[in-house]
């Protein structure tokens, strides 16, 4: 994107890949950070949307079988109108924009109206889902070419234009059939009638590249029955040809510790990137559903006091990772010189907050043995003589005042310093629909606020539906109490009350479940 915007914006037709958010291109990621508006489809990974900068407008135009939230002609008009208003637009499409994605139609519409556009290719599901199933599209031993084809008739077409009989006679190649679940019986019949061997290997792949990807091995004569028995659903594709037999030898996706497990993460999106990546690396499918967000909310009056502090003994008390981040940002703005923080001793509520300090180059002088605000205040007063000391208690707008009260009771002078506030995130109707369709196996709550936000987004009945079969994982006892106040049963609680301990708890649970 050019540093100086013209009166007209540019539309970027960006391929997001088939489902795994790590498969979006580097250029696609950059454009998502820099654009003004994202217009996105149904199968776009949630992580790519929730991680967008707050200023980026999000417009959902998803299409599902038999239902378009926005007709194509209206979608084309929307893209042109947004660009005409001077907005740089990312039109985020599943897979590749020019492979069964109607990207060419959108590009032509923009071209005809002199709207600048660029095409950013994505990894198409035919290649990616096959690779995630251990199936090579080509292999010099059995397949010299690959053919991508649609197994679904467009609504406006009475008959398919795919030359099934001709394809049935082709030898030494691989057919990859997109969108073929509903028409599977007809498509298979035409291949068999065209002369393709009924013993030809076939693999059906549902939810390709996701941790919950399912595969079905069959022959051409068996695939309809096996797909029906397995209740294979869209989005699915079928790989037909000798290359499909490599699945049993080269399958690499299954078998990871959290494979086939959907984990719902309620942590704020701007803090959850590392957690998302860690869970995916262990094989989990991440459901990115932040229930809260934070934003800077500095107490200017308190900052004036902090800036002019002259006490001989000074403490900073941090009770959250957000507190660390926002405090240091505001310190740079108000004070400027980080060397002056050397006048303070630092207390951290737990190892997670201490790790956040480490990332900025600061070491906590004190971390309590139990990661709660009550224990922090109690143990700090037991381990240090802070009578007469000045303590800056860094906090958000929802924090309680038990730390302040305890420190004042032993003669410390306390400056409550609010640096951020917490906001509830409202889920869209589309997000909730997707959640009910593929509910989580595990729900992770990293704070009481995230549990409150979860409850605010769902009615009692909806909470019961989402959590009915889910394991509830809590970061610690205070969070557990809030979770249970909303009628949910906590199944697992992290021993050390931090994110790494939550992951360890989840791994132990998964291992014990597999052993049983």
Report domain 11-122's class: alpha beta
What is the per-residue pLDDT for 66?
52
Residue 196 annotated to the active site: no
Give the span between the Cα atoms of 33 and 56, in whole angstroms.
8
Q: Please state, as a whole number, how many other Cβ atoms lie within 10 Å of the Cβ of residue 94.
A: 25
Q: Please tell me the chain's helix, strand, coil percentages from 3-state DSSP, rounded to the nearest 5.
A: 40, 20, 40
What is the per-residue pLDDT for 472?
98
All structural domains of the chain with their residue ranges: 11-122, 127-250, 262-291+425-515, 295-422
Q: Looking at the domain 295-422, which fold is it?
A: Rossmann fold (3.40.50)
Q: Please state, as a whole number, how many other Cβ atoms lie within 10 Å of the Cβ of residue 193.
A: 11
pLDDT in tens, 302-335: 999 999 898 889 999 999 999 999 999 999 999 9
Report how far Cα 253 is from the mean position of its chain's Cα atoms: 19
Q: Which CA distances in Å does 448 have to 291, 390, 431, 504?
A: 11, 29, 22, 20
Active-site residue identified among 127, 179, 210, 264: 179
- Going by C-beta distance under 8 Å and a sequence separation of 6 or more, which residues neighbour residue 21? 45, 47, 48, 276, 280
Residues of the chain with pLDDT under 50: 2-4, 515-516
* pTM for this model (two decimals): 0.88
Contact by Cβ (8 Å): 132, 125? no
DSSP letter at 207? S
Q: Looking at the domain 262-291+425-515, which fold is it?
A: Rossmann fold (3.40.50)
Question: What is the Cβ-side half-sphere exposure of residue 207, based on CA atoms within 13 angstroms?
Answer: 15
Residue 179 annotated to the active site: yes
Pairing state between β 285-288 and 262-265 = parallel
List 315's β-bridge partners, or say none.
Answer: 345, 391
- Integer-rounded Cα Rg, in Å, for the chain is 27
Residue 199 annotated to the active site: no
The CATH superfamily holding the domain 127-250 is: Tetrapyrrole methylase, C-terminal domain (3.30.950.10)
Angle, helices 477-485/448-457, rounded to nearest 10 degrees: 20
Active-site residue identified among 20, 36, 41, 46: 41
Active-site residue identified among 63, 421, 432, 496: 63
- Going by C-beta distance under 8 Å and a sequence separation of 6 or more, which residues neighbour residue 357? 318, 324, 346, 348, 363, 364
Asked, colleague to colleague, whether 262-291+425-515 and 295-422 share their fold, the answer is yes
């Amino acid at each position: 994107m050019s540093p100086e915007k013209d009166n007209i914006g540019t539309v970027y037709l960006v391929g997001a890949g088939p489902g795994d958010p790590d498969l979006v291109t580097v250029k696609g990621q950059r454009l998502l950070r820099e654009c003004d508006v994202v217009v996105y489809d149904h199968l776009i990974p949630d992580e790519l949307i929730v991680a967008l900068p707050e200023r980026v407008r999000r417009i959902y135009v998803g299409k599902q079988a038999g239902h378009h939230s926005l007709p194509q002609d209206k979608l084309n008009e929307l893209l042109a109108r947004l660009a005409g208003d001077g907005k740089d637009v990312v039109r985020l499409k599943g897979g590749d924009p020019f492979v069964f994605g109607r990207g060419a139609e959108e590009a032509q519409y923009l071209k005809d109206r002199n709207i600048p556009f660029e095409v950013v290719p994505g990894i198409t599901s035919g290649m990616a889902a096959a690779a995630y199933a251990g199936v090579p599209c080509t292999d010099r031993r059995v397949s010299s070419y690959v053919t991508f084809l649609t197994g679904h008739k467009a609504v406006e077409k009475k008959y398919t234009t795919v030359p099934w009989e001709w394809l049935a006679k082709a030898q030494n190649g691989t057919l990859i059939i997109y969108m073929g679940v509903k028409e599977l019986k007809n498509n298979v019949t035409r291949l068999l009638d065209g002369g393709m061997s009924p013993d030809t290997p076939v693999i059906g792949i549902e939810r390709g590249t996701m941790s919950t990807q399912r595969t079905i091995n069959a022959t051409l004569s068996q695939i309809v029955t096996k797909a029906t028995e397995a209740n294979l659903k869209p989005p699915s594709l079928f790989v037909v040809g000798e290359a499909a037999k490599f699945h049993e030898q080269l399958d690499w996706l299954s078998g990871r510790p959290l494979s086939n497990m959907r984990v719902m993460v309620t942590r704020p999106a701007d803090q959850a990137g590392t957690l998302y990546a860690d869970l995916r690396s262990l094989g989990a499918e991440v459901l990115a559903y932040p229930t809260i967000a934070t934003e800077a909310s500095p107490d200017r009056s308190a900052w004036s006091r902090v800036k002019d502090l002259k006490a001989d003994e000074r403490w900073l008390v941090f009770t959250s990772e957000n507190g660390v981040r926002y405090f240091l940002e505001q310190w740079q703005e108000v004070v400027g010189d980080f060397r002056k923080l050397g006048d303070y001793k630092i207390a951290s509520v737990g190892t997670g907050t201490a790790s956040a300090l480490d990332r900025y180059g600061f070491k906590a002088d004190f971390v309590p043995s139990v990661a709660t605000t009550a224990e922090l205040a109690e143990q700090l007063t037991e381990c240090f003589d802070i009578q007469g000391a000045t303590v800056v208690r860094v906090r958000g707008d929802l924090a309680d005042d038990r730390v302040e009260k305890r420190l004042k009771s032993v003669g410390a002078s306390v400056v409550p310093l609010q640096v951020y506030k917490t906001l509830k995130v409202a889920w869209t109707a589309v997000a909730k629909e997707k959640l009910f369709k593929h509910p989580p196996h595990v729900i992770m709550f990293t704070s009481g606020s995230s549990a409150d936000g979860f409850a605010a987004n769902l009615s009692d009945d909806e909470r019961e539906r989402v959590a009915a079969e889910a394991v509830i994982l809590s970061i610690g006892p205070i969070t557990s109490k809030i979770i249970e106040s909303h009628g949910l049963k906590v199944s697992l609680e992290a021993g050390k009350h931090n994110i790494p301990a939550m992951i360890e708890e989840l791994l132990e649970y998964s291992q014990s479940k597999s052993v049983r």
